[in-house]
Amino acid sequence: MHVSVKLDTSKFDQASAELKKQLPYASSVALNNVAFRIRGEERSAMGRVFTNPAKLTLNSVLVKKATKRSGIAKVFIRDQVSNGTAPSKYLAPSVMDVNRNDKRFERALRHMGVLPAGMYVVHGEAARLNKHGNISVGTYKKILAELRGNSGTAGGAGSTQGKKGKYFVGKVNGVLGVWKRAGGKRRPTVKPILIFLKGKPDYRKRFPFIRIAEGIARRHLPLELDKAMDHAIATAKRR
C-alpha cells in the first residue's frame, strides 16, 4: 500500500545546460521534502480518524527517499513486523475498502478446528479492551494456550469435557464463541469474550491515505521544486 511521488520535468527541456545539470539533485530534494510532508499529514489524519491509534499504527507510514537517479519518492504503510499483524494488512480495509484477511488469532482457531469455515471473530461484550480498543496480545495468547490444553473445547459453564480453564469455545444461548468462566462454584456463569459471526465484518473506507498524498503533492511539489532549483543553482555558482 503506497503512493509514488514523481516530477514532470518536460518543461525544462529547453532549459540552459546549468539548469539541466542541477535538475536531478533539485528534483530529489523537492520529492523528499514533499514525501516527508505527506508522512506527517498521514500521521495526523490517523489521530483524527482512529480512536487512540497504537504507536505501531502511527509509526507505520514510512518514506523511501528519492535519489538523483531514481527520481521517485515513495510513501507507504509498513508491511512487515517482527510480531503480530503488519499495519498494511489491518489498515487495508480502512484505506482501500476491501475485505480484511483472517487475523492470526483466527487462523490459529481454524487450525485447532474450533472456528468454522466462513466465520470470523469479533469482540464480545465482556472483552477487556486496551486504550486502542483491542484485546491485548497477552490475552489472545492466554486464550490459545488454554484452548490447546483443553481437549474438550465445547461446552458451557458446567461442562465436564476436558480440563476446565477460564476460557472455552462453545455455544451459550445459541451464540458460538470464546467464553470465560466466572462466578465460582456456587454461582457459575460465563461471559462472552469473543463471538463467532458468519461472514467477514463490514468495514468502510474511512482513511483517505491516497487522497491526502495526492492533494499535498499537487499543492507543494511545484513550490518545493522552485526552492530546490534556486538553492542548487545558487550553491553551484559559489563553487
**Is pLDDT above 50 for 90?**
yes
Residue 183 near residue 193 (C-beta atoms within 8 A):
no
58-71 confidence digits (pLDDT tens): 999 999 999 989 98
**What pLDDT, on the 0 to 100 scale, is given for residue 153?**
42
**What pLDDT, on the 0 to 100 scale, is given for residue 161?**
39
34-45 confidence digits (pLDDT tens): 999 999 999 999
User: Which range in 8-12, 15-19, 70-74, 225-229 is most confidently predicted, on average pLDDT?
Assistant: 70-74
**Is pLDDT above 50 for 85?**
yes
**What pLDDT, on the 0 to 100 scale, is given for residue 81?**
84
The mean pLDDT of the chain is 82
Of the listed ranges 10-14, 143-147, 211-215, the one predicted with least confidence: 10-14
**What pLDDT, on the 0 to 100 scale, is given for residue 216?**
94
Percent of the chain with pLDDT over 90: 33
CB proximity list for 59: less than 8 A, separation 6 or greater: 78
**What pLDDT, on the 0 to 100 scale, is given for residue 138?**
87
**What pLDDT, on the 0 to 100 scale, is given for residue 162?**
41
Question: pTM for this structure?
Answer: 0.60
Which of these, 11, 4, 20, 36, lies nearest to 68 by C-alpha position? 20
Residue 53 near residue 47 (C-beta atoms within 8 A):
yes
Q: Is the dihedral of CA 30, 68, 235, 12 positive or negative?
A: negative
Strand order in the sheet with 73-77: 2-5, 73-77, 61-64
Q: Say which DSSP state 72 is in.
A: -
**What pLDDT, on the 0 to 100 scale, is given for residue 160?**
34
**What pLDDT, on the 0 to 100 scale, is given for residue 53?**
86
For the chain, give every domain's residue range: 2-97+205-238, 104-198
**What pLDDT, on the 0 to 100 scale, is given for residue 39?**
95
188-206 confidence digits (pLDDT tens): 899 999 999 887 766 666 7
Secondary structure of residue 14 in the 3-state scheme: coil
**What pLDDT, on the 0 to 100 scale, is given for residue 237?**
59
CB proximity list for 172: less than 8 A, separation 6 or greater: 156, 157, 179, 190, 192
**What pLDDT, on the 0 to 100 scale, is given for residue 89?**
82
123-179 confidence digits (pLDDT tens): 888 888 877 778 888 888 999 999 887 754 444 443 433 456 789 999 998 999 999
Which of these, 28, 103, 74, lies nearest to 209 by C-alpha position? 74
